[in-house]
């Protein structure tokens, strides 16, 4: 546990990526295999189920700290992190524990089946054997969410440096449904597996927002416009008779969208499609809220599949007949894509004529003047899009966010004047800052709350609003 | 009415004010801490009936380590940076925290370079306190001189072009707020040392006990929570009061609170140091 806690302390204590990677690499070189496996599991959101709920954790921590529960709650609101609050209020001790990370996790797994009294004894005993930072990490293992600025990508980079295994190969090996309980470090990392390469995605090309006048982009006939759909940007890979669906966050989401398995019947191997996953039913795009009901699920039930079916609206073709075609001009890639979508729909129709084939095309439009482009943008709300995408007709498919060839031209959001009725402190980086707001509107002399907001402001803007709230708030007595 | 000043231990010169009228004694702490920091006259509890106490860190989540432990950490950190060929940049408020660090920094291997604001203040206090040598960073100071040494600068220097000369450097901040991960991360510094010139939770409770007071007025910080605790758990007659100078503090992002608070008190001390009570009344 000491070594793992120290790793987390170093990572959490720096905002430099190189230092984080160096600390992780060192850890992966020196820690025992079982600990390494659990470290990967924890950092990739595969921690074991929590053995104790947070209400009990608070009670038991408060009990040995000798403070009233309300004072714990007040402290928690200000600290903004439960694991940290508990670690801070517990009495300091000089004892120490030599248990390893995997030992502790094993104990926590076994603890799940035990009675509350045993759980309480276990937690209280172990809390007092750990120093402040180990306690914090111990609590985090139970409460979850190590938000310490280590992405899956960063962890993979460090593991790659420690093992000399290619990063992309590792990235894929670490995907999927394994847990720390059903595999070993050797099996997970070293077992040879050329399958890994099969699902490898291309980096996404991302657009910047139009900065000034759209007409500054020059000759309108050089540009292809299409609507910007509000779903999940994805990359669908069909190779060697298998399908892989990646989200833009480079998360493998194939299992969340079983609809797309149909692609295997009609789309040839060696095809990679860039597109938007959208909820779509009765020839109508549903709202992003509908899609959200599917995003969070690991397994999707039959009812949900019927209520919120999804499709891919294809934007681009990156690989065709096994060749990387990203260097081809956009127009040529699109010609191939249009044909692919048409052909596969026809083929699918022959197999199963009564059901919807979940691959549509995002229509491209050409214009002769910018005024017409602007008019089309105004129709975005009716078409349920966020605005327009403008792509230079001869542009290659680039890597990452690049200026010049692709622009997004979103519609302006609607605005409303409302009353800030309530503010809450945020968590983590926003702890002790009022960053979560509730808004109300007047109706018959009464304020009716209608919305909550916690994003969209910059750090500087949050500080400004926070300062204003702290100055002007009326204290609400919490009983 | 009788007024007297008593050491508050916050920074050199900081005082509590005792007011006696007929048989009643009130004490106003100003900013204070109970630990002897080696540069300020140590805090002395003063018996009173009514105790007006600040409670900047009036939550049980705040527990300070001994200064010797924290300074060991600071010195080890600087030594590690030195070994890595990096300059250690310590951010601390120019009056108080900076001198407290300077006083206890290990200068066997490294020199202490200072930002102008810190340097000048240290020179003023050098007449009263024995500090290790400090060197002013000027236009002429070269990168090579600074390399691997220690730089003490006010927090405002963080991210400014002035820092370029210190490359490659690592940054640290010393403040009570560093106890919170959130505060530490917001500041985008490499390392946070929990070192405060205010009382921690136990320090506040011990001080209140030592005064033998019946009434407590809490100001500045988590005064409502702290007063409720004193009422319900300690059976004291405690209320919270907002001070005139609080608004300034509240508008600061919380990680700078510590510094701003020192600023407020220190300017008052300067004003009151050679005058009578009338000019220090604005405290």
**pLDDT tens digits, residue range B88-129?**
999 999 999 999 999 999 999 999 999 999 999 999 999 999
Q: What is the pLDDT of residues A77-92, one digit of tens each?
A: 888 889 999 999 999 8
Number of A–B residue contacts, CB under 8 Å:
81
Count CB neighbours of A380 within 10 A: 18
Contact in structure between B183 and B259 (CB atoms under 8 Å): no
Q: Any chain A CB within 8 A of the CB of B244?
A: no
Is B62–A475 a contact, with Cβ atoms under 8 angstroms apart? no
Assign B270 a pLDDT band (cuts: 50, 70, 90).
Answer: very low
Whether the pLDDT of residue A478 is over 70: the answer is no
Q: Any chain A CB within 8 A of the CB of B164?
A: no
Q: What is the mean pLDDT of residues A207-228?
A: 92
CA angle A96, A98, A104 (to 5 degrees): 105
Residue of A89, A461, A475, A478 to mutate when probing chain B, most B C-beta within 10 A = A89
Nearest-Cα residue of chain B relative to residue A92: B63
Q: Any chain A CB within 8 A of the CB of B66?
A: no
Contact in structure between B195 and A94 (CB atoms under 8 Å): no
Whether the pLDDT of residue B273 is over 70: the answer is no
Q: What is the pLDDT of residues B181-216, one digit of tens each?
A: 888 877 778 889 999 999 999 999 999 999 999 999
Nearest-Cα residue of chain A relative to residue B60: A89
Q: What is the pLDDT of residues A166-183, one digit of tens each?
A: 886 787 677 665 788 888
Q: Any chain A CB within 8 A of the CB of B113?
A: no
At the topology level, CATH places domain B2-63+197-280 in: Metallo-beta-lactamase; Chain A (3.60.15)
Nearest-Cα residue of chain A relative to residue B226: A71
* Listed residue (B107, B52, B41) closest to B79, CA to CA: B107
Residue of B202, B223, B245, B253 to mutate when probing chain A, most A C-beta within 10 A = B253
* Closest chain B C-alpha to A428 CA, distance in angstroms: 5
Q: Among residues of chain B, what percentage have pLDDT more than 90?
A: 78
**In chain B, what are the domain boundaries?**
2-63+197-280, 67-193
Q: Which chain A residues touch B224 with a CB distance below 8 Å?
A: 475
Q: Which of B188, B191, B250 sits opposite A467 (nearest CB)?
A: B250
Beta strand pairing call for A385-392 and A223-229: antiparallel
| Predicted model pTM | 0.73
**Higher-pLDDT residue of B42, A433:** B42
pLDDT value at position B139?
92
The whole-angstrom separation of Cα B40 and Cα B262 is: 14
Q: Which chain B residues touch A16 with a CB distance below 8 Å?
A: 190
Is A75–B188 a contact, with Cβ atoms under 8 angstroms apart? no
Kindly list the structural domains of chain A, giving each domain's residue range(s) and its CATH number in brackets, ordered by start: 2-143 (1.10.3260.10), 205-410 (3.30.470.30), 419-472 (no CATH)
Q: What is the pLDDT of residues B144-167, one digit of tens each?
A: 999 999 999 999 999 889 999 999
**Higher-pLDDT residue of B232, B258:** B232
Residue with tokens 């009338």: B278
Contact in structure between B239 and B217 (CB atoms under 8 Å): yes
Assign A280 a pLDDT band (cuts: 50, 70, 90).
Answer: very high
Q: Which of B59, B183, B247 sits opposite A471 (nearest CB)?
A: B247
* Closest chain A C-alpha to B63 CA, distance in angstroms: 8
Give start and end residues of each alpha helix (H) in A31-148. 33-43, 54-65, 69-79, 82-89, 101-111, 116-127, 132-143
Whether the pLDDT of residue A359 is over 50: the answer is yes
pLDDT value at position B268?
35
Residue of B180, B181, B233 to mutate when probing chain A, most A C-beta within 10 A = B181
Asked if the B67-193 domain carries CATH number 3.40.50.10890, the reply is yes
Contact in structure between A142 and A104 (CB atoms under 8 Å): no
Q: Exposure string (b/e) for A384-405, b if CB count within 10 Å is 16 or more?
A: ebbbbbbbbbebebbeeeeeeb
Q: Which of A13, A88, A475 sits opposite B61 (nearest CB)?
A: A88
DSSP characters for A346-396? HHHHHH-TTS--SEEE---B--SSHHHHHHHHHTHHHHTEEEEEEEETT--
Q: Any chain B CB within 8 A of the CB of A431?
A: yes
Whether the pLDDT of residue B249 is over 60: the answer is no
Assign B236 a pLDDT band (cuts: 50, 70, 90).
Answer: very high
Q: Which chain B residues touch A429 with a CB distance below 8 Å?
A: 182, 185-186
Assign B5 a pLDDT band (cuts: 50, 70, 90).
Answer: very high
């Amino acid at each position: 546990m000491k070594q793992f806690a120290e790793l987390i302390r170093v990572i959490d204590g720096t905002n430099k990526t190189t230092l984080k990677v160096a600390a992780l690499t060192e850890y992966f070189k020196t820690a025992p295999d079982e600990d390494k496996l659990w470290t990967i599991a924890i950092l990739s959101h595969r921690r074991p189920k929590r053995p104790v709920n947070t209400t009990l954790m608070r009670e038991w921590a408060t009990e040995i700290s000798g403070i009233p529960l309300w004072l714990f709650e007040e402290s928690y609101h200000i600290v903004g992190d439960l694991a940290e609050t508990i670690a801070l209020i517990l009495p300091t001790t000089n004892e120490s524990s030599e248990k390893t990370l995997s030992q502790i996790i094993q104990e926590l797994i076994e603890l799940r089946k035990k009675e509350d009294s045993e759980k309480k004894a276990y937690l209280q005993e172990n809390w007092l054997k750990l120093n402040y930072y180990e306690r914090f990490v111990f609590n985090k293992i139970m409460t979850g969410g190590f938000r310490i600025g280590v992405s899956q990508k960063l962890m993979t980079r460090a593991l790659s440096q420690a093992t000399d295994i290619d990063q992309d190969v590792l990235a894929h090996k670490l995907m999927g449904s394994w847990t720390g309980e059903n595999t070993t470090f050797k099996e997970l990392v070293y077992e040879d597996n050329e399958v890994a390469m099969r699902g490898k995605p291309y980096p996404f090309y991302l657009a910047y927002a139009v900065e000034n006048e759209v007409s500054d982009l020059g000759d309108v006939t050089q540009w292809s416009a299409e609507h910007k759909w509000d779903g999940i940007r994805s990359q669908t890979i069909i190779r060697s008779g298998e399908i892989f669906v990646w989200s833009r966050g480079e998360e493998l989401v194939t299992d969340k969208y079983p609809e797309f398995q149909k692609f295997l019947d009609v789309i040839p191997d060696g095809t990679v499609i860039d597109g938007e996953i959208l909820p779509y039913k009765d020839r109508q795009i549903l709202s992003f809220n509908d899609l959200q009901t599917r995003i969070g699920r690991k397994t999707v039930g039959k009812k949900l599949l019927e209520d919120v079916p999804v499709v891919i609206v294809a934007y681009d073709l990156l690989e065709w007949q096994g060749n990387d075609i990203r260097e081809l001009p956009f127009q040529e890639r699109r010609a191939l894509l249009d044909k692919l979508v048409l052909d596969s729909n026809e083929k699918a129709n022959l197999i199963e004529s009564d059901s919807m084939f979940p691959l549509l095309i995002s229509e491209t439009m050409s214009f002769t003047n910018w005024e017409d482009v602007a008019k089309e943008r105004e129709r975005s709300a009716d078409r349920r899009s966020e605005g327009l995408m403008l792509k230079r007709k001869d542009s290659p498919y680039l890597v990452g966010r690049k200026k010049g060839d692709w622009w997004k031209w979103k519609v302006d959001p609607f605005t409303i004047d409302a009353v800030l009725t309530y503010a809450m402190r945020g968590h983590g980086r926003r702890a002790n800052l009022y960053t979560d707001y509730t808004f109300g509107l007047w109706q018959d002399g009464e304020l009716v709350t209608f919305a909550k907001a916690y994003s969209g402001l910059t750090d500087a803007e949050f500080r400004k609003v926070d300062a204003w709230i702290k100055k002007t708030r009326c204290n609400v007595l919490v009983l | 009415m009788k007024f007297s000043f008593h050491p508050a231990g916050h920074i050199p010169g900081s005082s509590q004010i005792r007011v006696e009228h007929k048989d009643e004694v009130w004490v106003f702490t100003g900013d204070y801490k109970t630990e002897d920091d080696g540069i300020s006259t140590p805090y002395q509890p003063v018996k009173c009936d009514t105790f007006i106490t600040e409670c900047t860190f009036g939550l049980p989540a705040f527990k300070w380590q001994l200064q010797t432990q924290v300074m060991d950490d600071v010195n080890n950190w600087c030594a590690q940076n030195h070994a890595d060929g990096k300059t250690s940049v310590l951010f601390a408020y120019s009056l108080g925290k900076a001198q407290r660090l300077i006083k206890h920094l290990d200068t066997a291997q490294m020199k202490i370079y200072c930002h102008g604001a810190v340097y000048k203040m240290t020179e003023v206090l050098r007449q009263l306190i024995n500090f290790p040598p400090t060197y002013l960073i000027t236009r002429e100071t070269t990168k090579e001189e600074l390399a691997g040494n220690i730089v003490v600068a006010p927090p405002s220097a963080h991210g400014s072009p002035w820092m370029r000369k210190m490359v490659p450097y690592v940054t640290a901040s010393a403040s009570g707020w560093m106890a919170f991960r959130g505060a530490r991360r917001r500041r985008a510094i490499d390392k946070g040392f929990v070192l405060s010139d205010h009382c921690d939770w136990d320090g506040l409770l011990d001080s209140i006990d030592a005064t033998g007071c019946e009434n407590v007025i809490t100001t500045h910080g988590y005064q409502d929570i702290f007063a409720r605790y004193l009422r319900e758990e300690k059976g004291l007659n405690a209320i919270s009061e907002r001070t005139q100078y609080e608004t300034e503090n509240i508008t600061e992002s919380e990680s700078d609170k510590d510094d701003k608070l020192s600023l407020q008190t220190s300017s008052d001390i300067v004003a009151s140091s050679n005058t009578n009570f009338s000019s220090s009344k604005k405290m």
